[in-house]
Amino acid sequence: MAYDYDLFTVGAGSGGVRASRVSAQLGAKVAVAEEALLGGTCVNVGCIPKKLMVLAAHYRDDFEDAHAYGWTVGERRFDWRTFIANKDAEIARLNGVYQRILEQNGVKIFSERATVLDANTVRVGDREITARHILIATGSRPRVGAGPGAELAITSNEIFHLPEQPKRVLIIGGGYIAVEFAGILHGMGTAVTQIYRGHLFLRGFDDDLREVLADEMRTREIDLRFGIDLKSIERVPGGLRVVLSDGMTLEVDQVLSAIGRVPNADGIGLEAAGVERNAKGAVAVDEYSRSSVPSIHAIGDVTDRINLTPVAIHEGMALAATLFGGRPTKPDHRGVPSAVFSHPPIGTVGWTEAEARARCKNVGIYRSRFRALKHTLTGREETVLTKLVVDGATGLVLGCHLLGADAGEIIQGFAVALKCGATKAQFDATVGIHPTTAEELVTMREPVPEEPLAEAAP
């Protein structure tokens, strides 16, 4: 059968764009449909604008610290509207970059919603288009809360486009999005309260990182409340009144609900095409990103594997190699590093201490907590935490964790070392760069005394 396209991609986020471009470079005839803006969540309401907000917020610390280094800083004032306008201009530029990348590689762009009709057919507007392979790369969206007044809360989609900066905000959630926006808004001058129903936020990260970050955020006067949930929101003159599960009330300008994300797999025809989904609603795929329908594939957040932009890109490249490069390639989800752009930030790769102790009989923990050189002059009591998790039997470094300035930049390099199977002895044999935070990860020589591991916080 002759098809209109070799590959039709539904969704032009980072993963969909990469899979489409690389497939086209490998000789496939490719089309992509995107009903919103090119670049998906990451470019428009995720990684890029969020990191720009992180950078903007950090100037508060820089201005405060400058005096200790001999600088006189004049009047300081943050203008939300100026920042938002500049951020929007950069996002528009990136949208254009994505369009040029696709067009220059011969990918046809449909700026419309696409739905799947069957194993080889999609509907775009009033047209039916056939393809040898269909790729679902529709990403995810913020989970919307329930309960009285839940519709009054905003999500991470809306926070990037508020016309005015909120003076008081309540953030609901304990994942990385909630934690990052707590630091961002506080740095910009907003009074922040963050609530989370669990014992401690950032579930799944190493417990030492979680505990030290909570201490650091409280030191910065972010109002953290654990074991608390939201009961209701109502609009009152001058803002919103929220009632918490402990009976306390707050009046704020905005409520940011950051309680998780859900796959964008509804309403695009997957059920009619026979594509199976898992209990979380994500598209179920095999190790080659193939769904239960052999001609339909899925990558990125819609599969709910590891929901990170670089992972979606990696999955897209592996799929292109599999379908059109003559090289069946499984995406490798082992040893994926990640960062939380909190204040201070976290970088991590590999197993947590709890994971290592659950899998290994003999675990060595190397940990150091100190104040960065920069703050010996500023007097800022900001903690740096470095930690290695080591297999005591083989010496293999199982996990590397860091909290402190530039954590993400530092961990990227150590992720390469872990990917290559580095041992603690090889870390020890590596000469550090002095004076840096990163050198601490190759100079920790003595494991911390063995102690019973507390049950990981829920």
| Domains recognised in the chain with CATH numbers | 5-142+262-324 (3.50.50.60), 150-259 (3.50.50.60), 344-442 (3.30.390.30)
Per-residue pLDDT tens digits for 245-286: 999 999 999 999 999 999 999 999 999 999 999 999 999 999
Per-residue pLDDT tens digits for 201-239: 999 999 999 999 999 999 999 999 999 999 999 999 999
pTM listed for this prediction: 0.95
In this prediction, residues 8-34 reach a mean pLDDT of 98
> Element (H or E) spanning 61, and its range?
helix 47-66
Distances (CA, A) of 111 to 19, 124, 395, 430: 18, 9, 53, 51
Pairing of strands 108-110, 30-33: parallel
**Dist. CA 405–CA 393, nearest whole Å:** 32
| CA angle (198, 203, 208) in 5-degree steps | 105
**How many CB atoms lie under 10 A from the CB of residue 250?**
19
Q: Quick one: pLDDT band at residue 454, thresholds 50, 70, 90? A: very low
Q: Which pLDDT belongs to residue 273?
A: 97
Q: Which pLDDT belongs to residue 306?
A: 98
**Dist. CA 23–CA 48, nearest whole Å:** 25
Q: Quick one: pLDDT band at residue 457, thresholds 50, 70, 90? A: very low
Name the residues annotated as catalytic. 434
